[in-house]
Structure 1
Amino acid sequence: MDDQTYEDAYEAWRSALTTLLGDAPLLASWQERRYRFAHRVGALLTDSSGEGPAMTGPVLYGVFSSGAGLCYVGQTQDAGRRLRDLPVGESHHLANTVPPELWERVVVIRWPLLLPAAPADEQAAVNEMGLEACGLALEHMLQIETAPPLNSRRRRSAGDWQPRNLARSRSRGALRSQSLPGLGDLALAAWKSLAERVPPEDLAVVDTGAGRVVFPSALETPQGS
């Protein structure tokens, strides 16, 4: 995309929002429509689905858009709260940059279910370091492997962005990741399986043994009043 096409698209976005937010009733309709959609996505990410249990506890997650591909990788110890909030954006920045209406899929890995297949020494390491530190380690390994753009830069107080060298990170997750290569490989294999899943017809969520993939793109955007 050349610079002029990009600027034209940006101006079209601003013009569309100006129409959608043209008066107080339209603003209310916009707010209601967006929250209905975000709420549906959050429910699909967290609620029980068919034979799949509700998403609780520690998970890895990632959001893909239809154009940019994988945008963001994160982890949480409280999937029920974080994944429900993720598309709403009240405590997470992602939805402010990439609206959930444009999410192609969201991959969720319940990584503690992979522990029985991990090497015995790594199972002991997880018990020693705790679930939070382990989640941070797996998040770091997945970010290194996939290089999502929204994890690869940080905001600066000057109003611009600074690249992050994840490979040289000295964060707690980066330091702990060296102790869990086997578990990291298991998490990555589960991730790739879900990230490459073809959206099934008439289904917006698919559960597997260790995770779930949700396809917001398969949802019909609710009609505003």
Structure 2
Amino acid sequence: MSVNDLTYDDAYRDWRASLTTLLADPTLLARWQERRYQFAHRVGTLLTEAHGDSTAVTGSVLYGVFAAGAGLCYVGQTQEAERRLRDLPVGESHHLANTVPPELWERVVVIRWPLLLPEAPADEQLLAEEMGRTVCGLALEHALQVATAPPLNSRRRRTSGDWQPRNLAQSRSRGAIHAQSVPSLTQLTFAAWAALSETEIPEHSAVVDTEIGRAVSPTALHQRPDS
């Protein structure tokens, strides 16, 4: 459903008015700071720490953030999931949370793609080993970005203050150059991604873990404060 310009501008003014109320004095500012970090910390904990019988999320992963209405907003990868995924909702070294607040994230999907390597053909496993996890992760990230075109990956900021479209399919980045090198691993990763993107998160929890990957629902924390 589209939003006309008048409704959009009204919503923007309402957002500013709400923040003005929340930051009305130094005490409220401190309360706002505490509440936002507490929420971001809980999201980061669900994304990384051991949950039930599942192990902690560490090392190389592919991840993506979904928001209600907008759908998949951003796809990324990291070799340090234990650090990067904790920082993702805080936004100290990542722009995503500055644009789409974690309070509005509907789902975060994380794929532990190295666990899929044993299912790939032997020659592809060897090639992936030669490429190294950094390059292989970048290749999978690029392939998924091209396939899904997340809006926050599809444009880059310009020093002139506006945005420039990115043609991901014509990129010459390291990930793009190697994206065709691991087709079976890419297919396996896409299948795991699709499954976790649709998997229902249990009512009693805000996270589901399949060992190959994890899906977390930050919005569920508003209804399940003890999740």
- TM-score normalised by structure 2 residue count: 0.96
What does 1:10-159 correspond to in 2, within 5 Å? 10-159=12-161
SS at match of 1:203: coil
Match in the other structure for 2:199:
197
CA contact (8 A) 1:103 1:215 kept: yes
Identity %: 70
Question: What residue ranges of structure 1 are gaps of 5+ in the alignment?
Answer: none
Once residues 220 and 62 of structure 1 are traced to their aligned partners in structure 2, the CA distance between those partners, rounded to angstroms, is 21
Letter in 2 for 1:97: T
**In 2, Cα distance between equivalents of 1:144 and 1:122:** 21
1:121: Cα distance to partner?
1.5
The question of whether the paired residues in 1 share the 8 Å contact of 2:205 and 2:224 is answered with no
Q: Which amino acid aligns with 2:78?
A: T
- Quick one: structure 1 residues 73 and 150, their matched pair in 2 at CA, closer, same or farther if it must change by over 3 Å? same
Q: Deviations over 1:111-166 (max 9, x none)?
A: 00000001111111111110000000000001011110000000000000000000
| Counterpart position of 1:167 | 169
Deviation of 1:200 after TM superposition, in Å, equals: 1.4
| 1:218 paired residue number | 220
Q: How many angstroms apart in 1 are the aligned matches of 2:73 and 2:222?
A: 22
Tell whether the 8 Å contact from 2:74 to 2:153 is kept in structure 1 after alignment.
yes
User: Shift in Å at residue 62 of structure 1?
Assistant: 0.2
- Tell me: CA distance 1:221–1:209, structure 2 relative to 1, closer, same or farther (3 Å): closer
What CA distance in whole angstroms lies between the structure 2 residues aligned with 1:105 and 1:189? 17
Measured after TM superposition, the shift of residue 209 of structure 1 is 3.1
Cα contact 1:58–1:75 (8 A) shared by 2: yes
Asked if 1 retains the 8 angstrom alpha-carbon contact of 2:41 and 2:86, the reply is yes
Amino acid in structure 2 at the alignment position of 1:18: T
Equivalent residue pairs, number? 223
* CA RMSD in angstroms, aligned pairs only: 1.2
Measured in 2, the distance between the counterparts of 1:29 and 1:65 equals 25
**Secondary structure of 1:87's match?**
helix
CA separation in 2, counterparts of 1:130 and 1:41? 29
Contact 1:42 1:86 in 2 (8 A): yes
Partner AA of 2:66 in structure 1: F
Q: Which runs of 4+ in 1 moved over 6 A?
A: none
Native 8 Å contact 1:100 1:216 kept in 2:
yes
